[in-house]
Chains A and B, each alone.
Chain A
């Protein structure tokens, strides 16, 4: 699981997500998917601030966004 999960099979490499990301943490990969497109990928998960802009511009609903919720060993929740 990552902050940004991209379904590489649905992605058409249109770059809309890459262009709207305010922190530039997305880019087209050099891989090819089954349709012959270069799918987008998260290149800097640390920097991603979970704004969800990428998911909200994706025409293929290929992107899901998850926010990490760390839980310590003692049961204390830290957001």
Chain B
């Protein structure tokens, strides 16, 4: 008679809190949270990491990681992170921000933290709308995209053009790693994981500011199912927001 034993191939990361997360079904925040937790485990930084949560859908991020956390004012996470890092340079300070938080109200803070080469890591979740508040236009909303505040579709004459944040950050000298990734297929998830790891290592190895922009779905506000949202992202966002390593990659 044979007894069946099993070898684990994938288990829930220890640094991800043992609770249900509050994100919508299929929201990519969940995937990104999971990747971050996997890396906190792998890099063994649970005891010296701190996450700075933004205002937005991920305001409750502090509930989902087994590390120290602080909730910052809208857009100001990079400044709060700077304050923490200057006091405790040995800590791994991570800001986790959405596109309203980082690219609208927080543009000054992210540009200057990046410019100072602040040894922090920013995870920027770009889902082309202000999610928490019901889907208003964000700086990253695409031309023609219908949102709560652009019911006819974003018109550049009235509202300007979508901002390519990763490219903007990459134009500065302070960053040691800048990339844009996506997580809508398992191979892309693996690449995203690798990019976030490089961004964390840029901090851990003291080389400079690390930044990863992650294109994400927002099924609820896009009015699509999670699977339809994935398709929409691939067809509409990826052409405008190219996936690449802009700084610190092998070819960069």
Contact = CB atoms under 8 A, between A and B. Distances in A.
Contacts of A52: 9-10, 186
Nearest to B27: A59
Contact of A66 (B9, B183, B185): B9
A7 B4 CA distance: 21
B3 interface: yes
Contacts of B37: 61
B6 to A, nearest CB: 4
Instruction: Classify the interface of chain A: helix, strand, loop or mixed.
Output: loop
Interface residues of B, number: 38
Interface string A31-68: 00001010000000000001011011111111111111
**Which 10 A-B residue pairings sit nearest by Cβ, starting from the closest?**
A59-B30, A14-B26, A12-B25, A66-B6, A14-B25, A55-B10, A53-B186, A65-B10, A14-B226, A65-B9
Interface of B: 1-13, 16, 20-21, 23-31, 33-34, 37, 183, 185-186, 189-190, 219, 225-227, 230
Interface of A: 1, 3, 7, 9-10, 12-16, 19-20, 35, 37, 50, 52-53, 55-73
